[in-house]
Structure 1
């Protein structure tokens, strides 16, 4: 009997000594998980793009007339971006009434009602709207 107790004590001691070393992470099945030593880099969002989206969907009230893929009251954002890119024109200049409408001039009078909002924006905010809209091209 003493021999069995002695064997159990030695076995328990051996297990506890081997478990006191470096702890290895395991998955839910007890399999060792390798440590990932690579640092992950978050993809950063262009602050102007994020600000532009916030303005477009918020105080700019642009979503009332413009959707990404569909004409509502005004042309789609994709159509606007495509035409402004082709003509190398500036959306920021247009919403500040510094240039003429080039996408759908027949909607100009409707758009003019929003110029009070867009002209009150800072130049950076207008640029942010442009960056956001041009991201759809």
Structure 2
């Protein structure tokens, strides 16, 4: 309860301080913000609330980054290719990472990916969902 009170007080103080400032002015350390970009970034964060957690898993304990890059096939297919196929087939990457569905992107690579299931199957369902959201958030 105390944390909520502190958060509310900080939010209120921030609002009061910023009321008199000119939104078009920026200091030398802050780039000018394009309102359209801000709306899009907010939309992305709202659509993929676990994406930051997914990024940490993708680059860390999930070891995904060793085989998957954004737009280049390395060992495995690119993230963009994976996301495009999963979107087109209305399938779940998280379900695949739990080894509960068949490979749909490049079945010939399945034996290589199978080694990583030891990692992804031991993740919590929310972590697998976070990986999926991170990958989906990168798609054009």
| Same-fold status (TM-score > 0.5) | yes
User: SS of the counterpart of 2:50?
Assistant: helix
Paired position in structure 1 for 2:129: 127
Q: Based on CA coordinates, which of the two structures has the bigger radius of gyration?
A: 1
Gaps in structure 1 of 5+ consecutive residues: 1-34
User: SS of the counterpart of 1:135?
Assistant: helix
* TM-superposed deviation, 1:136: 2.1
RMSD after superposition = 2.1
From 42, 50, 53, give the equivalent of 1:51.
53
What is the distance in 2 between the residues matched to 1:59 and 1:115?
Answer: 12
* TM-superposed deviation, 1:84: 0.2
Gaps in structure 2 of 5+ consecutive residues: 1-19, 24-37
What is the distance in 2 between the residues matched to 1:78 and 1:47?
Answer: 19
| Larger relative helix fraction | 2
User: SS of the counterpart of 2:138?
Assistant: coil
What is the distance in 2 between the residues matched to 1:53 and 1:59?
Answer: 10
Equivalenced residue count is: 102
